[in-house]
Amino acid sequence: MQRTSHRYLQVDVFADRPGAGNPLGVVLDAADWDSERMQAFAAWTNLSETIFFLPPTTADASYRIRIFTPRQELPFAGHPSVGAAWVALETGLVTDTAALIQECAAGLLPVQADDQSPQRTIRLRAPRAGRVDLAPPDNALQAVLATLPTAGLPAALWNNGPSWWLVELESEDAVRQLAPDLAAIATLTQATDAVGLAVFGRAPSGTGHQLAVRAFCPADNIPEDPVTGSVNACIAAALQAAGTLPGDDGSYIASQGRELGRDGRVALRVDEEGEVWIGGQAQLVIDGRMTW
């Protein structure tokens, strides 16, 4: 295949400054790329996700992206989606902030953006999450839970495009101090076709956030993901279903990535219709060209 040159960006998402949040690779104008080429480049970046902009397939969409981890394509992921909307606006790919619609493999997702460029906040409605009733084989879940100080909601598999195991721990400190059994997590996630496992715990008042979250994806060669929008959206859906949402009026802040020096913030809101919105800022770190 002939090598071509494309504009390439790297942005930190759910970040109030460069070096925080979760890094995202962005290839603009990838209309001529096939899946194999996208997957190979995503593996090369070795970021948790890389996105590729393509022309929309419907007039209802403002832009279209495909999302790849180093190992697989995802129908939806949170920090790539928030980052994509920010990039689309900052690069002039779209100009109307009033009616943004993202097209991805999970469908058409509404986006809200304020006009305070470049520090604008992006809010995106995640695909509706649901619990997956699946019994893992060979006691794979028990092997993971045996090492965790669990509390609150029982461990469960949730899906909002990707599938995640969600496990509530007894406190924020338990989340922060956790040394996970990555081999056991990899076995569990591979056996259940899940992207990874996330733990969360409630924070004491006065911390500026209501939940602490960590997400582990060892089967994707990502021992720990810095900040994970899809996980946070699944957690919000699970807490909403249980009637135990933190915060006020369906809104709260999740802290994720501190253990990796990333200290990201995800704004969660469950609206009147039960839909989960994820929000945050993005920071441009790299703006150049790549040849592949």
Show the 3-state SS of 107-171: EEEEEEECCCCCCCCEEEECCCCEEECCCCHHHHHHHHHCCCCECCCCCEEEECCCEEEEEEECC
110: preceding bond cis by omega (within 30 degrees): no
Q: Does residue 172 carry a catalytic annotation?
A: no
Question: Which entry of 36, 49, 168, 275 is annotated as an active-site residue?
Answer: 49
Cα dihedral 81, 287, 281, 92, rounded to 10, equals -70
Rounded to the nearest 5 degrees, what angle is found at the Cα of 262, between the Cα atoms of 260 and 264? 125
Query: What is the C-alpha separation between 43 and 98, in angstroms, rounded?
Result: 35
Query: What is the C-alpha separation between 212 and 214, in angstroms, rounded?
Result: 7
Contacts of 49 (CB under 8 A, 6+ apart): 24, 25, 42, 67, 68, 69, 74, 77, 79, 80
Best CA proximity match to 164, nearest among 142, 197, 201? 197
Query: What is the C-alpha separation between 125 and 82, in angstroms, rounded?
Result: 10
Best CA proximity match to 151, nearest among 92, 200, 208, 203? 200
Query: What is the C-alpha separation between 231 and 223, in angstroms, rounded?
Result: 15
Beta-carbon-side half-sphere exposure of residue 15 (alpha carbons within 13 Å): 27
Q: Look at residue 244 and give its three-state secondary structure.
A: coil
Catalytic machinery residues: 49
